Copies of this chain bind each other. A is one copy, B any other.
Amino acid sequence: MATKNETPEQRFASLCKALTLLKSEDEIRRFLIDLCTPGEIKDFGERWLIARLLAAGDMSYREISAETGASTTTVGRVARFLEQEPHQGYKAILERLK
């Protein structure tokens, strides 16, 4: 189940696989609270809000920065992952939430 010689890539693959086993919002919440620091959880919530506000399309980077408290650098970084990076992980889930 765990091998101490796992590479960082294998560790991440194991984590992604583990997350597929979590079925409810409450299970996911409890797992993330164990896995992440409070600061990380705050950052992820902020980035996810920024992604949703960007996808809604009616606010500028500066407005989103002012409203969320995130820096415009953070807003720009989320926008890059939303629009330009090949993973399309934000996009997939935002499409599903429509």
Contacts and interface: CB of A to CB of B under 8 A. Distances in A.
Interface of A: 1-2, 4-6, 8, 11-36, 40-42, 44-49, 51-53, 55-56, 59, 64, 67-68, 81-82, 85, 87-90, 92-93, 96-98
- Taken together, the copies of this chain in the complex come to 2
A26 B89 CA distance: 9
Q: Which among A6, A13, A15, A56 has the greatest number of chain B C-beta atoms within 10 A?
A: A15
What are the nearest 9 A-B pairs in CB distance?
A: A11-B45, A2-B52, A30-B89, A31-B89, A34-B89, A4-B67, A30-B87, A34-B81, A12-B45
A11 to B, nearest CB: 3
Name the prevailing secondary structure of the A interface residues: helix
11 contacts: A8-B46, A14-B45, A15-B44, A19-B22, A20-B22, A30-B88, A31-B89, A31-B90, A34-B90, A35-B90, A40-B40
